[in-house]
């Protein structure tokens, strides 16, 4: 009966092509693996010491005609192994994870392949030498003239590759000798870290003459500071197990790999995938009692992985989700068993950061603090991380509360039978709403406390600053209250129109129509006045006679004239040198004379006329010194004698001026905010620390730099 035949070139053409350095090196690494197995076989068959040696020489790296020679003193290609070599898709090494296709990848990657091997027979030593060709027939072409350095009377094999084929192998095969060294170490890291297997000597020379040498496992095992230590197995859904071993190594052990900490997933004692797990480990450099700046390396092995290695040996056939869970489980166990002492310190620092974060952002305290912290991933260690990880849970918690309330309302409105524990259900729902509102209030109050503390610092700084610093610090104080050189009704400046005028008067908290440090000519129609009030407010003035809606979202009643205008004048804290022409009354009169009867350009370019009997409220904030103190000394007391007030007469009888000191503004704002802090359950005595805070990342980086 007919027998099916194999089309070798077509079989090779259909092999998975490389997409990165590691995959492009697989044909070369397969040859190294064969040498290591050949040495194991020699010891298993003939006994004796395991004095195995693999010599690897890479020449002209980076050139099209690269040369790679791998020599070993293994068992050699005896009849059994030679027959397996000549069989496509052989299962000769199946029990050790062999796929029977490594030689096919040689053909896919290299232009010329030569093999010379010494082996034992029943009658003595023998040798075979051949070229391995990509052809439909005569792929194994005997050639006894091939050069080799194999010693007589000693078993072993030399495999020589010359030239990379056009395509992905030529494009992706490493061009740097250091890359060859790093990837070779990563591929067999299980053996090298554990100091098992033969000695592997590497000499790699680039076409430019750069040379890298290495001796394994010595060069890798010497990097081990602690380990191997076996930790708890990973128990899979089918009750099978994966073994996990951990090492702490010098960071050089991660050379050529992405990141510092690594999980190596092994298939039949060879690395199939190495995954960076810095985010899962969360800590930066690790340490022992004697050494620091160390990296965690975790080896995971077991029957599931052995049986799931893809043909290319660069991935597993398992679903990505399953592989990811294995990696996470390995790291979680290593964190709790292998580096628990360092994690305790790290988690204490994280908890301190988290508690400080909630003090500033109490709106994220939507549940029990301990439960929230426990829900955070280990790599959440900065305020930005906390916001990123808690935004969605906070939204869901609020949504759940709203749904619970809606359900209660539906029961009451619909007339459905009310359960016996309905009162308890209502109480829990109400407490949830109160907690949510308290968190929102706390967020608002905490933010205000920061602004108040900053204003306090700026006022103190201005009172003690040298003259050369006063101008820009004064501008900073002005900008804290309200952005400078802004007309909020100008659509182009809408984003800059946010302010903190509540610091001066709570009635101004939501004022949306204002100009700040703008010439009146830029605010009034048909005006060329150079006068520049610090702040001029109109439109939304709650409790002062509003004429529109916040932000101009709805139409302003521009058929009625504007009946209330608010002016703010800010004087430099600590200022004493007022000139005679700088009297407050005269300054305000000039403003009022220019504004009264004119038209203010408001939202949407609408023109609103200022009525002739418009009420002008002017607030002056200053320290009462010099001529200013003399001027206000004749005014009426207000605010328990902490401020002064003056109503002008004659043509300006609609003008009221109040003058208060900066300390009064600060103390009254703080007093008002204390009620909010109390209601939110926050520490009202605490003040903001404006010094740069050391982060967990800063500490890690400093430790790294110190080690370097």
E runs forming strands in 395-450: none
pLDDT at 276: 93
Pairing assessment for the beta strands 636-638 and 607-621 based on DSSP bridges: unpaired
Does some domain include residue 372?
A: yes
Distance in Å from the first CA to the final CA of the chain: 71
Q: Are 262 and 676 in contact (CB under 8 A)?
A: no
Lowest pLDDT segment from 76-80, 126-130, 525-529, 588-592: 525-529
pLDDT at 289: 85
d(CA 693, CA 359): 15
d(CA 695, CA 350): 9
Q: Are 624 and 661 in contact (CB under 8 A)?
A: yes
pTM over cut 0.85: no
pLDDT at 601: 72
520 and 653, same structural domain?
A: yes
Which residues are CB-contacts of 420 (< 8 A; sequence separation ≥ 6)?
none
pLDDT at 448: 77
160 and 41, same structural domain?
A: yes
For 200, the enclosing helix (H) or strand (E) is: strand 199-206
β-strand partners of 619: 568, 658
Q: What is the mean pLDDT of the chain?
A: 83
683 pLDDT higher than 80 = no
Using alpha carbons, select from 92, 91, 95 the residue that is nearest to residue 81: 92
pLDDT at 543: 43
β-strand partners of 565: 616
Work out the pLDDT band at 583, boundaries 50, 70, 90: very high
Side-by-side strand order, sheet with 156-164:
140-142, 124-132, 110-121, 156-164, 67-72, 53-61, 199-206, 211-216
E runs forming strands in 418-487: 486-487
Which residues are CB-contacts of 109 (< 8 A; sequence separation ≥ 6)?
24, 27, 28, 161, 164, 165, 169, 173
Does some domain include residue 688?
A: no
Instruction: Average the pLDDT over 473-487 and give the result.
Output: 83
CATH number for the domain harbouring residue 330: 3.30.230
Work out the pLDDT band at 542, boundaries 50, 70, 90: very low
Instruction: Average the pLDDT over 96-110 and give the result.
Output: 82
d(CA 505, CA 502): 5
369 and 283, same structural domain?
A: no
% of the chain surpassing 90 pLDDT: 41
pLDDT at 316: 92
Q: Which two tokens stand for residue 324?
A: 């990811």
Provide the number of structural domains found in the chain: 4
Instruction: Average the pLDDT over 562-584 and give the result.
Output: 90
Work out the pLDDT band at 126, boundaries 50, 70, 90: very high
Q: Are 685 and 444 in contact (CB under 8 A)?
A: no
375 pLDDT higher than 60 = yes
Does some domain include residue 503?
A: yes
β-strand partners of 244: 231, 300
pLDDT at 194: 82
325 and 350, same structural domain?
A: no
629 and 488, same structural domain?
A: yes
Task: Identify the domain boundary among 287, 309, 338.
Answer: 338
325 pLDDT higher than 70 = yes
- Which residue is listed with tokens 């549940």? 367
100 and 159, same structural domain?
A: yes
% of the chain surpassing 70 pLDDT: 81
400 and 362, same structural domain?
A: yes
d(CA 93, CA 106): 17
Q: Which residue has the higher pLDDT, 264 or 88?
A: 264
Helix (H, G, I), strand (E, B) or coil at 470: helix
Instruction: Average the pLDDT over 1-25 and give the result.
Output: 84
pLDDT at 546: 40
pLDDT digits (tens, 9 = 90+) for 159-204: 999 999 999 999 999 999 999 998 898 888 888 888 888 999 999 9
pLDDT at 383: 82
d(CA 16, CA 108): 10
pLDDT at 547: 42
Instruction: Average the pLDDT over 58-69 and give the result.
Output: 94
Q: Give buried/exposed letters for 51-90 (b at 16+ CB in 10 A, else e).
A: ebebbbebbbbeeeebbbbbbbbbbbbbeebbebbeeeeb
Q: Which residue has the higher pLDDT, 681 or 483?
A: 483
Q: At what angle do helices 422-464 and 340-360 cross, to 10 degrees?
A: 80
Task: Identify the domain boundary among 381, 411, 444.
Answer: 444
pLDDT at 545: 43
pLDDT digits (tens, 9 = 90+) for 262-314: 999 998 888 889 999 998 998 889 999 888 899 999 999 999 999 998 887 78
d(CA 562, CA 411): 50
d(CA 60, CA 161): 12
Domain carrying residue 289? 223-338
pLDDT digits (tens, 9 = 90+) for 397-453: 777 766 765 665 565 556 565 566 656 655 665 555 556 656 666 666 767 777 888
Which residues are CB-contacts of 226 (< 8 A; sequence separation ≥ 6)?
247, 248, 288, 294
Q: Which residue has the higher pLDDT, 505 or 165?
A: 165
548 pLDDT higher than 50 = no
579 and 608, same structural domain?
A: yes
d(CA 350, CA 698): 13
According to the 3-state scheme, what is the secondary structure of 51-108? CCEEEEEEEEECCCCCEEEEEECCCCCCHHHHHHHCCCCCCCCHHHCCCCCHHHHHHH
153 and 36, same structural domain?
A: yes
d(CA 397, CA 405): 13
Q: Are 142 and 116 in contact (CB under 8 A)?
A: no
Does some domain include residue 690?
A: no
Q: Are 90 and 100 in contact (CB under 8 A)?
A: yes
Helix (H, G, I), strand (E, B) or coil at 205: strand
State which of 19-33, 413-427, 491-505 shows the largest mean pLDDT.
Answer: 19-33
pLDDT digits (tens, 9 = 90+) for 614-647: 999 999 999 999 999 999 999 999 999 999 999 9
Does some domain include residue 707?
A: no
Which residues are CB-contacts of 95 (< 8 A; sequence separation ≥ 6)?
none
477 and 382, same structural domain?
A: no
Q: Are 585 and 568 in contact (CB under 8 A)?
A: no
Burial grade of 634 (CB within 10 A; 0-12, 13-18, 19 or more): exposed
Using alpha carbons, select from 663, 696, 30, 150 the residue that is nearest to residue 378: 696
pLDDT at 401: 66
277 and 175, same structural domain?
A: no
pLDDT at 161: 97
| Greatest alpha-carbon span in the chain | 132
Does some domain include residue 458?
A: no
The answer, yes or no, to whether the previous bond of 228 is cis (omega within 30 of 0) is yes
Q: Cα separations (Å) of 209 from 130, 277, 489, 579?
A: 30, 35, 70, 81
The answer, yes or no, to whether the previous bond of 569 is cis (omega within 30 of 0) is no
User: How far is C-alpha 149 from the chain's CA centre?
Assistant: 53
Work out the pLDDT band at 702, boundaries 50, 70, 90: very low
Q: Which two tokens stand for residue 134?
A: 């990509």
Does some domain include residue 672?
A: no
Q: What is the CB neighbour count within 10 angstroms for residue 364? A: 22
According to the 3-state scheme, what is the secondary structure of 656-668? EEEEECHHHHHHH
Does some domain include residue 656?
A: yes
pLDDT digits (tens, 9 = 90+) for 653-670: 999 999 999 999 999 988
582 and 541, same structural domain?
A: yes
pLDDT digits (tens, 9 = 90+) for 242-265: 999 999 999 988 887 889 999 999
Q: What is the CB neighbour count within 10 angstroms for residue 441? A: 18
pLDDT at 692: 52
pLDDT at 611: 86
Q: Cα separations (Å) of 495 from 24, 490, 601?
A: 53, 10, 18
d(CA 523, CA 534): 13
Q: Which two tokens stand for residue 343?
A: 């994690």
Helix (H, G, I), strand (E, B) or coil at 569: strand
d(CA 353, CA 347): 10
Q: Are 602 and 558 in contact (CB under 8 A)?
A: yes
Instruction: Average the pLDDT over 110-135 and give the result.
Output: 94
């Amino acid at each position: 009966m007919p027998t099916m035949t194999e089309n070798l070139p077509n079989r090779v053409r259909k092999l998975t092509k490389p997409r990165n350095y590691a995959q492009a090196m697989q044909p070369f690494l397969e040859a190294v693996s064969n040498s290591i197995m050949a040495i194991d076989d020699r010891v298993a068959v003939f006994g004796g010491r395991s004095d195995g040696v693999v010599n690897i020489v890479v020449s002209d790296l980076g050139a099209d005609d690269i040369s790679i020679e791998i020599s070993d003193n293994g068992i050699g290609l005896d009849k059994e192994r030679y027959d397996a070599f000549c069989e496509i898709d052989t299962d000769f090494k199946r029990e050790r994870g062999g796929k029977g296709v490594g030689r096919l990848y040689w053909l896919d990657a290299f232009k010329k392949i030569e093999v010379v091997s010494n082996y034992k027979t029943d009658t003595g030593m023998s040798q075979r030498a051949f070229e391995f060709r990509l052809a439909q027939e005569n792929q194994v072409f005997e050639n006894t003239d091939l050069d080799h350095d194999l010693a007589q009377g000693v078993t072993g094999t030399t495999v020589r590759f010359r030239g990379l084929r056009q395509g992905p192998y030529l494009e992706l095969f490493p061009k740097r000798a250091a890359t060859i060294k790093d990837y070779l170490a990563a591929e067999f890291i299980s053996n090298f870290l554990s100091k098992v297997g033969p000695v592997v000597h590497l000499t790699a020379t680039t076409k430019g003459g750069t040379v890298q040498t290495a001796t394994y496992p010595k060069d890798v095992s010497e990097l081990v500071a602690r380990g191997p230590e076996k930790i708890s197995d990973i128990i899979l859904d089918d009750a099978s197990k994966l073994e996990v071993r951990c090492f702490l190594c010098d960071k050089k052990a991660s050379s050529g790999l992405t990141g510092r900490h690594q999980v190596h997933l092994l298939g039949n004692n060879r690395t199939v995938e190495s995954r960076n797990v810095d985010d899962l480990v969360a800590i930066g450099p690790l340490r022992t009692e004697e050494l620091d700046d160390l990296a965690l390396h975790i080896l995971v092995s077991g029957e599931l992985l052995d049986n799931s290695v893809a043909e290319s040996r660069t991935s597993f056939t398992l679903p990505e989700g399953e592989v990811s869970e294995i990696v996470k489980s390995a790291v979680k166990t290593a964190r709790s068993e292998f580096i628990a002492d360092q994690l305790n310190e790290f988690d204490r620092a994280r908890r301190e950061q988290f508690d400080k974060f909630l003090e500033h952002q109490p709106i994220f305290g939507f549940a029990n603090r301990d439960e929230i912290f426990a829900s955070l991933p280990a790599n959440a260690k900065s305020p930005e991380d906390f916001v990123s990880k808690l935004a969605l849970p906070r939204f869901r918690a609020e949504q759940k509360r709203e749904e619970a309330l809606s359900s209660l309302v539906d029961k009451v409105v619909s007339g459905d039978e009310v359960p016996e524990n309905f009162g308890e259900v209502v109480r829990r729902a109400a407490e949830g709403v109160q907690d949510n509102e308290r968190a929102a209030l706390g967020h608002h109050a905490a933010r205000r406390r920061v602004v108040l503390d900053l204003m306090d610092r700026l006022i103190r700084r201005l009172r003690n600053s040298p003259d050369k610093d006063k101008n820009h610090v004064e501008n900073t104080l002005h900008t804290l209250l309200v952005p400078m050189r802004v007309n909020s009704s100008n659509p182009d400046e809408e984003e800059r129109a946010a302010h903190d005028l509540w610091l001066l008067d709570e009635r101004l908290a939501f004022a949306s129509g204002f100009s700040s440090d703008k010439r009146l000519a830029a605010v009034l129609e048909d005006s060329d006045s150079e006068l520049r009030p610090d702040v001029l407010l109109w439109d939304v003035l709650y409790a002062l006679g509003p004429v529109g809606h916040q932000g101009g979202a709805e139409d302003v009643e521009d058929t009625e004239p504007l009946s209330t205008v608010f002016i703010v004048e800010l004087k430099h804290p600590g200022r004493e040198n007022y000139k005679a022409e700088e009297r407050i009354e005269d300054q305000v009169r000039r403003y009022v004379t220019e504004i009264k009867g004119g038209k203010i350009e408001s939202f949407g370019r609408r023109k609103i006329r200022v009525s002739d009997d418009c009420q002008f409220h002017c607030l002056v904030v200053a320290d009462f010194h010099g001529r200013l103190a003399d001027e206000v000394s004749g005014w009426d007391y207000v605010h328990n004698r902490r401020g002064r007030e003056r109503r002008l007469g004659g043509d300006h009888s609609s003008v009221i001026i109040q003058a208060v000191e900066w300390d009064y503004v600060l103390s009254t704002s703080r007093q008002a905010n204390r009620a909010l802090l109390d209601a939110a359950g926050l520490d009202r005595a605490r003040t903001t620390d404006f010094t740069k805070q050391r982060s967990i990342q800063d500490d890690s980086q400093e430790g790294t730099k110190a080690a370097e």
